[in-house]
Amino acid sequence: MKITLLNGNPQPAAFDNYLAQLEASLTAGGHAVTRLDLREMTLRYCVGCWGCWVKTPGECVNRDASLDMDCTVINSDFVLWASPIKMGFPTELLKRAHDKHLPLIHPYMEVDQGEAHHLKRYARYPRVGLLLEKEADTDARDLQIVTDIHCRTALNFKTRLEFSLTTETPVEDLASRIISPAKASLPLPKRLTATSGVTVLPPRRLTLFNGSPRGRKGNTPVFLNQIAEGFGGGSEIHHLVRVRETEQMVQAFADAECVIFGFPLYTDSMPGVVKHFIEALEPLTGRATNPPIGFVVQSGFPEGLHSRYVERYLEKLADRLHSPYLGTVVKGNGEGVRIMPAEANQRLFTNLQAVGASLSKNGNFDTVVLTAISHPEQFPRILGPVFQLFVRLPIAHSYFDEMLKKNDAFEKRFARPFAE
């Protein structure tokens, strides 16, 4: 077997020793093992440019180490996603690697499990498993949230998560799980409903954190600015893509009266640049004076349900920070907001402004408005066959096809550059 260990450990420690023992055990069994220590690789953050879909189909346009990584991963029989937990989630290193797997699938959509998902690019994908090292405050809820999200990530990676284990598992037991295909993968998590936020004293000022890897040019700041407009008071916005300003942004969080934190859904959770910021907030964990916090998660999928899994993480993150949790604005089909004519966005913008107005007046996120924004949460079963037919029509692909044609890449749209 060809086995790849994606090591998201940011610095040499006991976790590396565990992986070294695992590698030795697998190698002794005659298996070809490649261990990729992500901290030693030049992996730039995915910036959402979509060049890997519309300019150089199947490859990141940034010629960094992700090309070798993706080639190794797609040609493996098994890939172990391995990472310590930091702030309740695998490290930003592993998250960055997941984001850079985007070239391995298509922008085009299909219906899978009754939901919209991306088409596969390759004929086969590796089996996958998850290995975690607990942090001091990791509890069963943290592990379940992380497992659920990675089950969804595996689904979008055209495979299934076979197990989610911790380093408390004996090395030989883990090696056996890797070598022997599971009779059944972990079940996909059930569909979730919206979380509930609390009511706080109405704030006078908002501090907004834009987690779009595109910075000012993303869709997320459009959402945040509309909420700020409805809020009507003072506000300031920080762009997390400016990683060199992380220290100043952590201080801005510490000084804030109320925070709204927005980002696009990236491989079923937050972009790597957002996880970088979350880890930087660790010194503020449990501080009694941390501000109330609400979230905005928008995605390119048409249904809101895709974002409900990371929403559970965000709720727990607020608890970890000891910040009152205001709730999460979830919106599917958000990719085109920044380029749509004003009339097409009128209903959405009215609702986003209502979120801000409710926060200013009542100190909470209006749940009726949140429900309206997230519609459709999922497509009714009766529409399943209709949607399946639609995604097969040329019009469903026209958005990406036009960009491919503009870049003289249309004929290469089904390229498999890493196929052996």
Q: For 279-335, what is each residue's pLDDT tens digit?
A: 999 999 989 999 999 999 999 998 999 999 999 999 999 999 999 999 999 999 888
Q: What is the pLDDT of residue 206?
A: 98
What pLDDT, on a 0 to 100 scale, did the predictor assign at position 384? 62
* Residues forming beta bridges with residue 79, ordered by sequence position: 4, 128
Instruction: Give the DSSP letter of residue 334.
Output: -
Q: What b-and-e string marks burial along 5-22, b requiring 16 or more CB atoms within 10 Å of the CB?
A: bbbbbbeeeebbebbeeb
CA–CA dist 115, 306 (Å, integer): 9
Q: Which of 333, 308, 322, 352 lies closest to 399 in space, CA to CA?
A: 333
Q: What is the pLDDT of residues 2-34, one digit of tens each?
A: 999 999 999 988 999 999 999 999 999 999 999
Q: What is the predicted pLDDT for the residue at 176?
A: 97
| Multiple choice CATH, 2-179, 3.40.50.970, 3.30.1490.20, 3.40.50.360, 3.90.1640.20 | 3.40.50.360
State the sign of the Cα–Cα–Cα–Cα dihedral 320, 326, 332, 333: negative
Question: Which pLDDT score, from 0 to 100, does residue 381 have?
Answer: 67
pLDDT at 407: 96
Residue extents of the structural domains in the chain: 2-179, 205-374
Residue closest to 94 by CA, chosen among 16, 176, 7: 7
At residue 259, the pLDDT reads: 98
| Domain 2-179 matches domain 205-374 at the CATH topology level | yes
What is the per-residue pLDDT for 276?
A: 98
Q: Which amino acid type is present at position 186?
A: L
- Tens-place pLDDT, residues 136-161: 999 999 999 999 999 999 999 999 99
Residue 179 CA to residue 7 CA, distance in Å, equals 18
> What integer pLDDT is reported at residue 399 of this predicted model?
84
Residue with tokens 């975690």: 132
Q: What is the pLDDT of residue 71?
A: 98
Sequence-ordered list of residues with C-beta below 8 angstroms from that of 238, at least 6 positions apart, any chain: 207, 208, 209, 210, 245, 249, 252
Low-confidence ranges of the chain (pLDDT < 70): 380-384, 386-392, 395-396
d(CA 299, CA 104): 19
Fold of 205-374: Rossmann fold (3.40.50)
Task: Report the pLDDT value the prediction gives residue 203, as an integer from 0 to 100.
Answer: 98
Q: What pLDDT, on a 0 to 100 scale, did the predictor assign at position 233?
A: 85
